[in-house]
Amino acid sequence: MLTADKLSFYLKLFPSLTVDDLFKVLSLAKERHLEAGEVFIREGEMGSKIAYVKSGLMRTWLCNEQGEELTLSITWEDLFVGSHDNIIFKQPSRFVCEAMEPTSLLVMEYDAIETLFAKHPEFEAMRHYFLMELLGAVVKRVESFVLLSPEERYRKLVTDRPHVVQRIPGKYLASLLGVTPVSLSRIRTRIARSKR
């Protein structure tokens, strides 16, 4: 949720920003509600959308040559989701991005943001901050793959985000961890057994 708390947090974080400024950014954002299974970004799409997840769960996935769905990432409340293929690599999206449950988004066109930011350098600190947040999240993800085993990755996710894990169907969770659903099921029974 975008609460008053959070608003004052951002204003404190970026001293050069006024309330007016902040509302200027928010005016670019359109609220959009998605039902479970509804698609936000289609495969091959070229528009550069980016969204703040107010509530709900989004999933970014593709089909490999064998026709299996592979989940690249799952995005929950208070995180950003977007067509990274468009924005980072300037290419049509290889991925589908869709809602896993009823989800509320604040959607912005990245091009419009770019234009606004070009005109108003006072936003630069904010953009930089969000980019760093994103970069941090992705770096942590790489670390988890290099430093942890699948079981350790699962344990860590349960510890860090217990409420999120409960809401993600196992088959998507498995793909997120880089294993098959069967293997995740085994990891779960293994952990349950070790606790007894």
Residue 30 interacts with, from its own copies, DNA, none (CB under 5-8 Å by kind): none
The rounded distance, in Å, linking the Cα atoms of 62 and 42 is: 10
- Transcribe 12-24 into DSSP letters: HH-TT--HHHHHH
**Nearest Cα to Cα of residue 106 among 55, 36, 158:** 55
**Nearest Cα to Cα of residue 46 among 71, 98, 83:** 83
Candidates 42, 151, 157, 167: give the one binding DNA (CB under 7 A): 151
Smallest distance, DNA to C-beta of residue 187, A? 5
* CB nearer to its own copies: pick between 103 and 175: 175
In the region spanning residues 62 to 81, those forming contacts with its own copies, defined by CB under 8 A, are 62, 64, 70-73
- 3-state class of 134 per DSSP? helix
50, burial (CB in 10 Å: exposed 0-12, middle 13-18, buried 19+): buried
* CB nearer to its own copies: pick between 71 and 103: 71
Candidates 178, 191, 195, 196: give the one binding DNA (CB under 7 A): 178
R_g (Cα) of the chain, nearest Å: 18
Binding residues for DNA, per CB under 7 A?
149-151, 169-171, 178-190
Binding residues for its own copies, per CB under 8 A?
62, 64, 70-73, 84, 88-89, 121, 124, 127-128, 131-132, 134-136, 138-139, 141-143, 145-147, 175-176, 178
